[in-house]
């Protein structure tokens, strides 16, 4: 499962990296994929739009076992 998730994230990473950020896979539990934004993405006011409109959509559409995607903050 992690390999499938990383493959999808690798397609999206160039866009995040070009804006000074990145994304890290943390874990998957009960069909929920937990991710952490890094760099500029972690403080970007548009991070939830990026998560919902790009990352979440791609993961759910490409991996049948994923039902939701959530962010883990730096404090978690």
Q: Label residue 73 by pLDDT band (50, 70, 90).
A: confident
- Rounded mean pLDDT of 4-21? 96
DSSP string covering 30-52: TTEEEEEEEEGGGT-TTHHHHII
Residues 39 and 74 sit within 8 Å (Cβ to Cβ): no
Task: Give the pair of three-digit tokens for residue 74.
Answer: 């730096």
Domains within the chain, CATH numbers bracketed: 2-71 (3.30.300.130)
Spacing of C-alpha 55 from chain mean position: 5
- Rounded mean pLDDT of 57-75? 91
pLDDT cut 90: percent of the chain above it: 93
- Rounded mean pLDDT of 13-39? 96
- Rounded mean pLDDT of 47-75? 92
Which residue from 29, 27, 23 is spatially nearest to 10, judged by alpha carbons? 23
Confidence check: pLDDT of 75 > 90: no
């Amino acid at each position: 499962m992690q390999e499938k998730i990383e493959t999808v994230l690798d397609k999206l990473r160039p866009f995040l990296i070009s804006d000074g950020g990145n994304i890290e896979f943390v874990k998957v539990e009960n069909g929920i994929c937990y991710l952490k934004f890094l760099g500029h993405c972690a403080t970007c006011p548009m991070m939830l739009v990026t998560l919902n409109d790009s990352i979440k959509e791609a993961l759910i559409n490409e991996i049948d076992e994923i039902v939701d995607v959530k962010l883990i903050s730096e404090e978690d």
